[in-house]
Structure 1
Amino acid sequence: MLRRRSQTPADSPVPADDPKPQGKGRPTPKRRDAEGRRRQPVTAPRDRKEAYRAMRAKQAAERAKAREGMLRGDERYFPARDRGPVKKFARDWVDSRRLPSQYFLPFSLVILLVTWIPMGDARTQAMIYGYVLTIAWPVMMVAVLGTSIFVAQRVKKQAAEKFPNESVKGVGFYAAMRALQIRKLRFPPPQVLPGGKPVPPKK
């Protein structure tokens, strides 16, 4: 019997101009090898001191970034007590006005200097001391107390009218405490000038 011949030899070469690709020409890499090449080398601290220094540097950078954000008025970096439209309204309300209570600390410093620094003879010094204690200091305290009550009530009322869906709990006290601070020492920094105009950006 005649053996049937195969029409195409098993080891027939592939033509050079064959349009179909014959594989990638390289073995497929394993998954763990590919992931290993994608990973970046991580240098672990050599000792505890180096790890502590790296942690301190990272924390310092984060604090500097947060402070810059607060100076810009970015509420993402504000403490929880300073966030929200109600608190911003209270800050702007206080910062847009010149209030007697904001001069309380400078006035107190002047009083201390007047009572400590000798001025003239003992009789003159006693007279100045008496005027300070019986007139100047009580007048300033009444002005501060009256201003604080006025600010707290006015800010709370206006905030409730402007933000009916927001809680105004504690906003009066918040505004009164801010009104006691020297303007340059207020934090978050004022975003408006006395009169209501926005603070110009720093160059």
Structure 2
Amino acid sequence: MFGKRSSELTETNLEAAQQAQAEETVDPARPAGKGRPTPKRRDAERANRRPLVVDKKAMSAEQKAKVRTERARMREAMLSGEEKYLPARDKGPERRFLRDAVDVRWNVGEILLPAMILVLAVSLLPFEWARGGTFLVAYTLMLGGVIDVWLLWRRTKKRFTATFGQEPGRGSAWYVVLRAFQMRRSRIPRPAVARGEELRRR
């Protein structure tokens, strides 16, 4: 009885071993493994991700020329006052009106810089009158510039309120003052009106 049971167990173990060996046998129709673990999805996405910043060294001469041309075109559009390319502080009809209020007139502030350079050059002369006189002229010009820009802002504020039905927004006074003290050729955007032209909404 025990011999029969032992024989049955031996046959069962033998069949199980043969089945396990068959499962471990490589199927020639199935491709072999890669020999390395499959990468995670996060790692694969990181590997495929391309840098957002263009490497300038890898750019061709034609691409560089195209980029330079586009930048020059955008800068020229900004200087000419094209609304699309203006920074936020210069956009809108209100800011355009404030710029025109400065550009339609002569301003003492715009001649202040070249006048100061001339005063400095004269003050270097080895004469007593040159030193005293030049400083007097310099202080007179600065005081005249302050008074002139104050009068400019008062008139501009009144015209602005009459045109737009409201007072200028915050920062408008400083916007007018800074432009009035700049030389006409160095103003950005460039003046779009001539001196003496009638101030109106554009």
Is TM (by shorter chain) over 0.5?
A: yes
Q: 1:1-203 alignment to 2 at 5 Å?
A: 49-51=57-59, 57=65, 59-116=67-124, 118=125, 122=126, 125-133=127-135, 135-164=136-165, 168-196=169-197
The letter for the 2-side match of 1:155 is: T
The letter for the 2-side match of 1:68 is: E
Normalized against structure 2, the TM-score is what?
Answer: 0.63
Measured in 2, the distance between the counterparts of 1:152 and 1:77 equals: 27
Seen in structure 2, the aligned counterparts of structure 1 residues 181 and 49 have a Cα distance that, compared at 3 Å, is: same
Report the alpha carbon displacement of residue 59 of structure 1 after superposing the two structures with TM. Answer: 4.3
Seen in structure 2, the aligned counterparts of structure 1 residues 151 and 72 have a Cα distance that, compared at 3 Å, is: same
**Percent identical across equivalent pairs?**
33
Which portions of structure 1, spanning 4 or more consecutive aligned residues, are displaced by more than 6 angstroms? Answer: 52-55
More helix by share: 2
Please tell me whether Structure 1 or Structure 2 has the larger radius of gyration of its CA atoms: 2
RMSD: 2.6
For structure 2, the residue ranges without an aligned partner over 5 or more in a row are 1-54
Seen in structure 2, the aligned counterparts of structure 1 residues 128 and 166 have a Cα distance that, compared at 3 Å, is: closer
Normalized against structure 1, the TM-score is what?
Answer: 0.62
Kindly tell me the number of residue pairs found equivalent between the two proteins. Answer: 145
The letter for the 2-side match of 1:160 is: T
Measured in 2, the distance between the counterparts of 1:177 and 1:112 equals: 23
Seen in structure 2, the aligned counterparts of structure 1 residues 172 and 157 have a Cα distance that, compared at 3 Å, is: farther
Report the alpha carbon displacement of residue 130 of structure 1 after superposing the two structures with TM. Answer: 0.8
For structure 1, the residue ranges without an aligned partner over 5 or more in a row are 1-46, 199-203
Q: Contact (CA 8 Å) 1:156, 1:171: kept in 2 or not?
A: no
Give CA-to-partner distance per residue, 1:106-161, whole Å, 9 cap, x none.
11111111112x3xxx4xx122101112x211211110111122222322332233
Q: Contact (CA 8 Å) 2:107, 2:149: kept in 1 or not?
A: no
Seen in structure 2, the aligned counterparts of structure 1 residues 167 and 147 have a Cα distance that, compared at 3 Å, is: closer
